[in-house]
Amino acid sequence: MAEQHKQVGDYEIVRELGKGGMGQVYLVRNLISDRIEAMKVLLPDLVQQGDLANRFMREIKLLASLDHPNIAQLRTAFTADNQLVMIMEYVEGDTLAHRLGFGAFSTADTLNYITQVLNALSYAHGKGIIHRDIKPSNMMLTPQGMIKLMDFGIARSTSDLGMTVTGTTMGSLDYMSPEQVKSEPTDARSDLYSVGVSIYEMVTGHRMFDATSSYSVMEAHVKEIPRAPIEVQPSIPKQLNDIILMAVAKDPAQRFQTADAFRNALSQVATTSATPVPTASATPVPVASQFFTPVSATPVPAPAPSMTPTPAPLAAYTPAPQVVRGGRHVGWLVVVAIVILVALFGGTQVYRSHKQNAAVESSMPTSTTTTATPTPTEPQPTAQPSASATAAPSAMTPDASPAPTHRNAAPTAQTNPAPVNNGPTPEEIAAQKKLMDDMERESDQLDSRAAAVESTVGTMEQQMHQSGLGMRGDIVESRANLRNDMAKAKQALDSMDTDRARKFLDMANHELDKLEAFTGRR
C-alpha cells in the first residue's frame, strides 16, 4: 500500500520500519501537527479474510484501552483504501533482541528491563488482556532507559473466547509456553513463561533450547527440562537462577501466578545483588513514581529495514517535436506519412505479449519506408483543376521534385490532419520487455522456494500430528496466502499487468519469508 513519501490521510510516509505478525509498519509524519509517529497497515487484500481482519480489529480495540508508560500507545485508527490503519506512538530506541547480538546483559540491567516488562504485564493482565508474544524483539529500549512493550498483534482478552482456531498455535516458537505449543487454553501465566525464557537468554546470552528445527523447539518446550542458567553463566546469582527455573516450569500451577509475584521475587534479587537496580524494590511502587536509570550500554542504532525493491513504472511518453526542413513541404508530408504508419503499426504492439515483441520490432516501419497508405482527402473544387492535385502522390516517391504550384496542395493535406501518436519508443519497448523478463524470472525463483518450504512444512505438520500437536495458526494462514498470491501473480503476468503482478509477487515473497523463518530455512 505504502511507498516512501506517499500520503495516507493526513500522514506522509517517510520510510518502512519493518513487518510484524499482523501487518507492515512505517515511519510517518503528521502533516498537521508535524509529529513523527508509526503507522501499522494490514497487508493488501488480506482484509477480506475474516479471521485476520477480526484479529486486527481486536488489536485496535485492545490497544485503545491500554494507557501505561511501558506500553507503546495507540494514537488513532482509521480505514484507507479498504485497509485498516493504526497510528502508534513512535518509540525511538533499540530492541533487546538486537542488543543481545552483542552479548549477554548484566544482572542489574536484566532486572531493570524485566521489571518494567512485568509492570506493563501487570497492568494489561489486570484489564484481562494477555499478550501471547512476549520476547526480546518486542521489548524496545529507549535512550532514556525505559522499556516499551510492543506488538500486541496477537493479544486477546480473557473474555474473548472462540477466536483461536482449534488445532492451531500462536506466538514465537523460541518463547512459546507448553500450553501454546499444544494449542491448549492460555492465561496470564503463559506470558510469564515467555518472560522467564527471555530472562534466561538475557543473562546467559543463549537460547533456552539449542534445537535445530522448529519442531524440535516445540517438542523441547513440552518435554525437555532446560539446562540451569547458572551452569551456562556461573556469575548469575543463585536466587535469580531459581526464579528463572520457576518461571519456565512446564505446569502453569508451578510458575509465578501473577506478574506482581514475579516482580516482587526479582526485587529481592535486586536488593541482595552487588549492583542494585533503582527501578526495582522489595515493595512495589506506583508506576507513575518510578524513575528508570539510563542503560549502561552504548546505544546501538537499529539496522536499516530491508525493503523489496519495486521496479519503477515506465515514464510517460512525450512525442518528440517534428522536424520540418525550411520551406520544403514535400519533406513535411513524408514525415506525416511516417508518423501515421508508426501510430498504426507500432503504437499497439507494445501491449502484446512480450514473447511477440521481437517480431513487433522487426515489423515496425523506419524512416526509409517508401510505401504509404493512401489517405482519403477532400474532393477538390472543379473550378480550380490543377496538376498539383495529381502531383501530391508523386511527391511521396524519392525521385519527385517539388512542383511550382505545390503550395496549393498544402490546404488539401491539412484539411483533416490525422492525430499524431508516435507510439512507444524502442527504449520503452526494451524496458517493458526487461521488466516482464525480470518478473517472470522472479516468479520462477519464488516457485522453487515455495516448493521447498511446502515440502518442509508438510513433513513438520505430519510429525506434529503424530505427537498430538497442532500447526501454528499464522503458518496455516501463510501457506494459503502464498498459494493464492502466486496464482494471482501468474495471472497478472499472463495478461501483461505489471503493476498487479508486482503487488502479488511482493505479497508472496513476504509470506515465503515468514514460512522460511518458521522452518529454519532462512
Name the grid cell of 476: 496455516
CA distance 336 to 367: 11
Q: Which residues fall within 8 angstroms of residue 184, CB to CB, at 6 or more apart?
A: none
Name the grid cell of 120: 506493563
CB atoms within 10 A of CB 503: 19
CB atoms within 10 A of CB 479: 20
Q: Which amino acid is at 474?
A: D
Find, among 225, 451, 462, 427, the residue nearest to 314 by Cα. Answer: 427
Q: Which of 10, 67, 94, 133 is catalytic?
A: 133
Q: Measured between alpha carbons, how far is residue 206 from residues 75, 190, 228, 232, 240 in Å?
A: 36, 21, 12, 8, 16
Q: Which residues fall within 8 angstroms of residue 309, CB to CB, at 6 or more apart?
A: none
In this structure, what DSSP letter does residue 30 have?
E
Find, among 279, 270, 206, 281, the residue nearest to 243 by Cα. Answer: 270
CA distance 503 to 310: 9
List, in sequence order, every beta strand (DSSP E) within 357-404: none
Q: At what angle do helices 498-519 and 473-494 cross, to 10 degrees?
A: 150
Decide: 104 and 205 in contact? Cβ < 8 Å: yes
Q: Could you give the angle at the alpha carbon of 229 between the alpha carbons of 183 and 258, nearest 5°?
A: 50
Q: Which residues fall within 8 angstroms of residue 284, CB to CB, at 6 or more apart?
A: 260, 263, 264, 267
Strands laid side by side in the 147-149 sheet: 94-95, 139-141, 147-149
Name the grid cell of 35: 509529529
Q: Is 133 a catalytic residue?
A: yes
CA distance 143 to 111: 17
Name the grid cell of 70: 511501558
CA distance 512 to 481: 10
Q: What are phi and psi of 283, to 5 degrees?
A: -105, 120
Q: Which amino acid is at 140?
A: M
For CA atoms 173, 119, 76, 308, the dihedral sign is negative
Name the grid cell of 20: 510484524
Find, among 471, 477, 478, the residue nearest to 512 by Cα. Answer: 478
- Annotated catalytic sites, by residue? 133
